Structure 1
Amino acid sequence: MRRKTVSRFAGLLATLGVAAASLMSGAPAFAQPVAGEGEPPMIGAPYNWGMNLQPAAGPIKDAIHDFNSLVLWLMIIITAFVGILLAWVAFRFRASANPVPSRTSHHTLLEIAWTVVPVLILLVIAIPSFRLMYYEDRAPDATLTVNVTGRQWYWHYAYPDQGNFGFDSYPVQEADLKPGQLRNLDVDEPMVIPVGQDIRIITTGEDVIHSFFVPSLGVQKYTIPGRTLETWLRADRPGTYYGQCNQICGQNHWLMPIVVKAVPQAEFESWTASARQRFAAEGPVSPAPVPTKVADAAAATLAR
């Protein structure tokens, strides 16, 4: 009878573990739909009732998903093992079954095991973790470079390989949103990249530390004044990918959305030809401490 009770309890823990893994690993019923043949472009943004990382739009995010799944399964196995062990100890060594408790003070083999096993678990986590960090670091054969500058509180993008033009990217105010645009996430000028190309990202900051973070592309890099940092990204499918500064950089920190638009090569070339003329005609932009577009958006929000 006792064995049946313990067996049922262990089975219940295992079932709960498998159910949790299914939910956390991004089952299709809980995931954002992605673009496929004949479907609209992918939208990389937060979605209602999301229970997992945002769907991957490129190889970096794919690698992050794999690492996340590895750590998740290790956590489930460890949690289930500890739960079953605690239940067995509580049942097996309860006072009614052990009126005279054991006086064992140590067990050499057990002490070696609970030292060596955690070390092995950490190695299992550390090796793919270091590989992922080096993989995210830089692209040796990037086809395009985009310089990203974080400013209070907006982004500046420059394309040195495409005629050395640059432009500022401001959030779209709520009153100006068009159908389909996302509140607090859409911008007037997105960063445009070609699909399927490795894009080198060079970041720097003009005033304080910001963070260039686009979850669906698996990219995050600080923009630090006086320093240049490098990372890379690639979008394997056309779409619009949203991000935000996730570094607390001041009172208008929430007004620093990021939009990366991935388009086919022909469309990208057409956009760069137009952008060279458009932004050259506007001339260089002298950044103000609080740009008018940002100040207006912040004031409108505070007024509500």
Structure 2
Amino acid sequence: MRLKTHFLGLMAALAATPAMAQELETIGKPTLGGTGFQTAATELARDLQWLEHMLMWIIVPIVILVVALLLVVILRFNRKSNPKPATFTHNSPLEVAWTIVPILILLFIGAFSLPTLFKQQVIPEGDIHIQVTGYQWYWGYEYTDSEDLAYEGFLLPREDLASYGYNDDEYLLATDSAIILPVGKTVVMTVTGADVIHSWTVPAFGVKQDAVPGRFAQLWFTPEQEGIYFGQCSELCGKDHAYMPITVKVVSQEVYDAWLAASEEAGGFVPLSELPAV
């Protein structure tokens, strides 16, 4: 009877795996034919997206002005329209203007872009610390606040997506083991490479850091919304560069605590679907 109960419970857990995995909304995911940014899930990502939109309001008028001036020059000062060329060599007010105006534009851009850059580069005190190691061609994760929690994340084959709770269009995005993080906590990652240069990137978080062998670099972010986020190695690292994705699942603090305890006890990654109800 005991064996039967255990078997039925195991079967129920396996059957519930896809549904439970899909309780998290997929937020950070590329869309077919999309041209915009993914939904910003951190303050860093919002700052970067705002900066890009602001710069477009500066860059587009400059491009239009330059193209208009080129057209004027082409139409007005060609040999047919202007057979006798002018003899002047310079225009001092114009030269002063096109020196000062670009300087003012660059100062204005720098006033907004440099604080955004410094915010990324100044690493705060983290609530969670993870060492990320890039391999050919998968990622290794070690929760350094824990005494015994380290695992790897490998690309899921297309035929295994459903059993892990992913959709068919998430092939090349989903991994068998995900990074599990609590919402609203500051995460500091130390990134390195084991063989060649890789790059750990999650667009929805606004983070990208090269993983260089023999060197340690850091990034940080604070996820603001529970959900599933995908990333990808963004540095050409060999023949399977396109097959080393990143999967991050942001959960509530209660679920994270339960997952961390279960994973530490198991000595490796425990799927969220195997946790008791929290």
Q: One fold, TM greater than 0.5?
A: yes
Alignment counterpart, residue 191 of structure 2, candidates 198, 203, 206 = 203
- Cα distance in 1 for partners of 2:183, 2:194 equals 29
Runs of 4+ in structure 1 over 4 Å off: 87-101
SS at match of 2:239: coil
CA deviations over 1:208-232 (Å, ceiling 9, x no partner):
1111011111111111111111110
SS at match of 2:195: coil
Report what 1:274 is aligned to: 262
TM-superposed deviation, 1:97: 7.0
- Residues 27 and 39 in structure 2, CA contact (< 8 A), matched pair in contact too: no
- Cα distance in 2 for partners of 1:120, 1:51 equals 31
TM-superposed deviation, 1:68: 0.8
Identity %: 34
CA deviations over 1:109-131 (Å, ceiling 9, x no partner):
11111122222222233333222
SS at match of 2:90: coil
TM-superposed deviation, 1:280: 5.4
Alignment counterpart, residue 55 of structure 1, candidates 35, 39, 44 = 39
TM-score (norm 2): 0.80
Alignment counterpart, residue 246 of structure 1, candidates 234, 258, 262 = 234
Report what 2:273 is aligned to: none
Unaligned 5+ runs, structure 1: 1-38, 283-304
RMSD over aligned CA atoms reads 2.4
- Distance change in 2, residues 1:98/1:254 (3 Å): closer
- Residues 242 and 257 in structure 1, CA contact (< 8 A), matched pair in contact too: yes
SS at match of 1:162: coil
- Residues 42 and 238 in structure 1, CA contact (< 8 A), matched pair in contact too: no
Alignment of 1:1-304 (within 5 A): 41-89=25-73, 101-178=85-162, 179-180=166-167, 182-279=170-267
CA deviations over 1:280-302 (Å, ceiling 9, x no partner):
599xxxxxxxxxxxxxxxxxxxx
- Cα distance in 2 for partners of 1:118, 1:217 equals 32
Question: Which letter maps to 2:235?
Answer: Q
TM-score (norm 1): 0.73
Between the two proteins, the alignment pairs up a number of residues equal to 244
- Cα distance in 1 for partners of 2:80, 2:123 equals 65
SS at match of 1:139: coil
CA deviations over 1:135-194 (Å, ceiling 9, x no partner):
112432221111111111111111121334111111101222215251111000000111
- Cα distance in 2 for partners of 1:275, 1:234 equals 22
